[in-house]
Amino acid sequence: MEGTNKKKLVLVGNGMAGVRAIEHLLKLAPEAYEITIFGAEPHPNYNRIMLSSVLAGGADLQEIVINDWDWYKDNNIQLFAGHRVTQIDSIHKRVVSDQGITVSYDVLILAMGSNPFMLPLPGADKEGVIAFRDIKDCEIMMDSSRKYKKAVVIGGGLLGLEAARGLLHLGMDVSVVHINPYLMERQLDETAAKMLQAELEQQGMKFLLAKNSDSIVGRKRVTALRFTDGSKIDADLVVMAVGIRPNVELAKSSGIEINRGIVVNDWLETSIPGIYAIGECAEHRGIAYGLVAPLYEQGAVLAKKLGGVETVGYAGSVTSTKLKVSGVDVFSAGRYEEPVGSRSLRYQDEVDGVYKKIVLQNDKLIGAVLFGDTHDGAKLFSMIKNGEIVAGREKELLLGGSIGGGAAASSDSRLKDMTEDEIICGCNGVSKGTIADAVIAKGCRSVGEIKSCTKASASCGGCKPLVEGLLRMYAGDEAGEQVKEGICGCTSLTRDEIVAEIKRMEMMTIKEVMHVLDWRNPEGCAKCRPSLNYYLGMLWPEAYADEKESRFTNERYHANIQKDGTYSVVPRIYGGVTSPSELKKIAEVAEKYDVPMVKFTGGQRLDLLGVKKEDLPRMWEELDMPSGHAYGKTLRTVKTCVGSTFCRFGTQDSIAMGIRLEKELERLNTPAKVKLAVSGCPRNCAEATIKDFGVVAIDGGWELHVGGNGGVHVRATELLCVVKTEDEVSEWAGAFLQYYRENAQWNERTSNWIERVGLESVKRALEKPEERAVLSERIKKALSMTTDPWKQIVNEDSLRKNFEPLKQVQPIID
């Protein structure tokens, strides 16, 4: 290291609190210290808040790294990753690691965080019993999900629900055990907790409340969890998320004063001069904080102290919690439990799933709980911290954006009404004024630049809509996000950004996506509503409930609307092959309902044209045939020639292959309509080389073609590959269509998609058998959740419900 006059600073703990203090110090006094950091984990500084996203597959380790390896080098910091400090010699001012590294110090900062509390249950040492605290725990949980199915999480607090959410998304059967009668009792009152439980139960979580764990059953590995009442629950994996304990063993063995945590004063000094402590391992005025924002506040004070900047010291923190548990917005701040001498006001809307409660004492706001709508959280939290008098404004504070002009009118006005010191990013303690300075004075013109400059939205990401709103407010037309073309005029976000955010925040409804991602038009439009309906269904085939009002008129009525207002009914005829009884049934229905025209289509089916809307339900019931989906963004037809069954030129059985593909893929929702064809020889009578997926029989195998279009802009297919068996044709067809489903834009035909991404990128994605197998599993899962729409209609009430005009939104005409 350069600079012999520099003081030596050693940080024990490479986590969020300690490294954040170093970041502040480097800005205040960049040349004052020679810095060494010891980290027990073999990783650079990462965002522990995002572990649940890693567990759920929404992010990998690289994405949650806050400061990568280069950051340490660029700032001349010596990092010993994977080293645990085992000894502090405060007499000679040096520390020793478990790997024999000794480093001297002038200033020592202890930021070892906390350890998960493991219940001392009999059997807790068995295989499959873990905590949820770091990357290693995530890796164990992900590995367990591939081998086992039943997971039990002990603890219904914030950490436990995050663990349960991740395990649920890993495909495990998840039960949450909680000793209290309702969830998150430290942040929520009973009403909000019950609403949260109901939402999570709809998504597949199971709950055992007011249960006291007794012992863990099993020989080498856990097989069940037994309760004190004698009952038990089967378990292949038990995750304990019942709390944390400050990591004080190193301090205790070094003679530093400890209580629950390492005792510090307002300048974060311990009982030994030159040694400081911050973060979850520290105890200030009797409190050991476990949330990120207070730890960052401590780091800022310590950085000023060490950097020679005058500071009033750390006076403690008023804490708040804002989270999104499986797509549910929850906010809690201050004292929500209604202490003696206080009063509370409540608002509850069970239709929209919104609950608000504010707690008042001596005309001041001292606590708040928000469920379902947390937009006013930052404003309320600022009032709680500042001790602001709110007499006469109670109704306004309680209802906030729930009254008046609604979401569209309230979003921008809320931002304008915020004071400069109101916190926008609670995780990183970034105020509205700091973001304003970044945009106005420092020229930030995108959320990414604001994130790099201020750390706002760099942690949980929940504040991103507010950051985007402030960017628009201060930068106007110069804002980078605003000049970017989104999927429609309602948003500046692209398809990939929207899908990524839906996956990351695990949003489950169109309303939630529009709300969380700050749609300009809160009702959406004919472009975005159907696309969001598709993306949600594609991402969450098992959990998402298809939103009928966001489908096109044709898809809602399962028929094509014609120019005179009548409809066209097309039953499915697999591969164009029918039977006398099927033809007779179609003829009888056509006669009964006076169908003006029956026509063979280009897709080898019969089209009943001129049907009245009121006749549609009964016609479908009497036909009792699957819908041909001639109206949807789905698989339309699989056209076939007669192939080797009858044709003297045929080399393969194209009819059987076509029928197999059609039966395997029918009802598949896709970004745009999809047409397939199978030709029995290279003469190509089924026109397979202008289809989205075309199969051409050759001697000893099949050519697979993709990206064709026979419409206005004719495009010939490109050869994807050559295979030998029918099973391989089916495998490649499913993998290709699933890859298209997951990566194409809404309403983008395969021909346009292939031109945009290039055939080679598709080949690379599908070339490995294991990758095709994964895609095939996902398409099978999606198809397993679909049924023919007419099979769901069982009585006249449901018929009327399906066909009554929509009152809340305008019909979407394709």
**80-104 pLDDT, tens digit each:** 999 999 999 999 999 999 999 999 9
In this prediction, residue 595 carries a pLDDT of 85
Q: Is the pLDDT of residue 189 over 80?
A: yes
pLDDT of residue 288: 93
Say how many C-beta atoms besides its own lie within 10 A of residue 736's C-beta. 24
Residue 813 has pLDDT above 50, yes or no: no
Per-residue pLDDT at 370 exceeds 50? yes
Q: Where is average pLDDT lowest: 114-128, 221-235, 433-447? A: 433-447
* pLDDT confidence band for 463 (50 / 70 / 90): confident
List the one residue out of 490, 484, 444, 483 whose CA is nearest residue 467. Answer: 444
State yes or no: pLDDT of 556 exceeds 70: no
Q: Could you read off the pLDDT of 648-675 as tens digits, one per residue?
A: 888 899 999 999 999 999 888 899 999 9
- Listed residue (781, 791, 784) closest to 627, CA to CA: 791
Q: What is the mean pLDDT of residues 363-376?
A: 88
pLDDT tens-digit readout, 705-737 = 999 998 767 899 999 999 999 999 999 999 999
Q: What is the average pLDDT across 752-761?
A: 91
pLDDT at 210 over 70: yes
Closest by CA to 572, choosing from 641, 642, 623, is 623
Q: Per residue in 417-451, pLDDT tens?
A: 777 766 787 666 678 888 998 888 888 888 877 87
Over the stretch 479-491, which tens digit does the pLDDT of each residue have? Answer: 764 434 567 767 8
Q: What per-residue confidence (pLDDT) applies to 759?
A: 93
Rounded to 10°, the helix 447-454/432-440 angle is 110
Helices (H), 624-768: 654-665, 726-743, 750-757, 759-766
Mean of the pLDDT values across residues 54-67? 70
pLDDT digit string (tens) for 531-548?
Answer: 898 899 899 988 888 877
Q: Which helix (H) or strand (E) holds 150?
A: strand 150-154
Residue 529 has a pLDDT of 84
Query: Token pair for residue 614?
Result: 């009121």
pLDDT at 393 over 70: yes
User: Is the CB of residue 717 less than 8 Å from the CB of residue 762?
Assistant: no
> Percent of the chain beyond pLDDT 90?
45
pLDDT at 553: 61
Q: How many residues does the chain have?
A: 814
Would you state the pLDDT for residue 61? Answer: 66
Report the pLDDT averaged over residues 30-52: 90
Best CA proximity match to 675, nearest among 718, 728, 711, 636: 636
At 325, is the secondary structure helix, strand, or coil? strand
Beta bridge pairs of residue 639: 677
Give the C-alpha separation, 429 to 457, whole Å. 10
CB contact burial 370-395 (16+ within 10 A = b; e otherwise) = bbbbbbbbbbbbbbbbeeeebeeeee
Give pLDDT, residue 5. 80
More confident of the two residues 117 and 452? 117
Residues 321-333: tens digit of each pLDDT: 766 555 577 888 8
Return mean pLDDT, the chain. Answer: 85
| Domains of the chain as residue ranges with CATH | 7-114+246-307 (3.50.50.60), 129-242 (3.50.50.60), 318-403 (3.30.390.30), 484-550 (no CATH), 634-787 (3.30.413.10)
pLDDT at 257 over 90: yes
Both tokens of 133, joined, read 């605290």
| Residue range 679-697: mean pLDDT, rounded | 93
pLDDT band at residue 414 under the 50/70/90 scheme = low
Whether the pLDDT of residue 58 is over 60: the answer is no
- Region 355-370: mean pLDDT is 93
What is the tens place of the pLDDT at every residue in 496-541? 889 998 888 888 888 888 888 888 777 777 678 888 988 998 999 8
